[in-house]
């Protein structure tokens, strides 16, 4: 393995790991309750513009969180992050996160790919009643899998192309 390839491999691994950590912090600590509930186009009585605004606010704070984690690790480890590839990876991550967090596109894709039963039958019944999108539901698990998959693609992009 060439030195440049090893550097790209390490950069990819570090980018993925720190963005995954930033993802969980951004999704579960930084996101407000209003954003978490209001961003879904699948909510009963949803006003599209309001849902889009909640989702946009969440994705902005989430992207800032993952970017801070990534830049801090890049600085600490002196990773050779190229600005163009860095921005491309961050933007891809933000756009795919926004699409999934509106929920309706992810629900439609899940059903199209035969995951309807998973969406309909995987769920935790909470004391206040069943929830259809939070932790312990099929939709939440598909959401997290979607995000983590795109984190991996973004990490590869951030590392840059082969030399």
pLDDT, residue 133, reads 62
**pLDDT > 70: percent of the chain:** 92
pLDDT digit string (tens) for 3-20? 998 999 999 999 999 999
Phi first, then psi, for residue 82 (nearest 5°) are -85, 130
CB 153 within 8 A of CB 85: no
Token pair recorded at residue 146: 């979607």
Q: 139 — phi, psi (to 5°)? A: -65, -40
* Residue whose pair of structure tokens reads 């929830």 in the numeric block: 131
* pLDDT tier, 132 (very low <50, low <70, confident <90, very high otherwise): low
pLDDT for res 42: 84
């Amino acid at each position: 393995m060439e030195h440049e390839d090893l550097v790209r491999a390490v950069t990819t691994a570090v980018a993925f790991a720190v963005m995954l950590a930033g993802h969980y912090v951004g999704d579960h600590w930084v996101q407000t309750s209003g954003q978490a509930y209001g961003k879904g186009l699948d909510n009963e009585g949803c006003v599209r513009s309001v849902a889009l605004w909640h989702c946009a606010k969440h994705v902005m704070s989430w992207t800032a969180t993952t970017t801070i984690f990534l830049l801090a690790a890049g600085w600490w480890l002196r990773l050779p992050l190229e600005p163009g590839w860095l921005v491309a990876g961050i933007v891809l991550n933000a756009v795919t996160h926004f699409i999934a967090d509106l929920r309706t596109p992810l629900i439609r894709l899940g059903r199209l790919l035969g995951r309807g039963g998973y969406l309909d039958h995987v769920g935790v019944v909470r004391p206040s009643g069943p929830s259809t999108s939070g932790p312990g539901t099929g939709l939440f698990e598909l959401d997290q899998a979607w995000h983590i998959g795109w984190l991996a693609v973004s990490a590869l992009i951030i590392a840059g192309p082969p030399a």
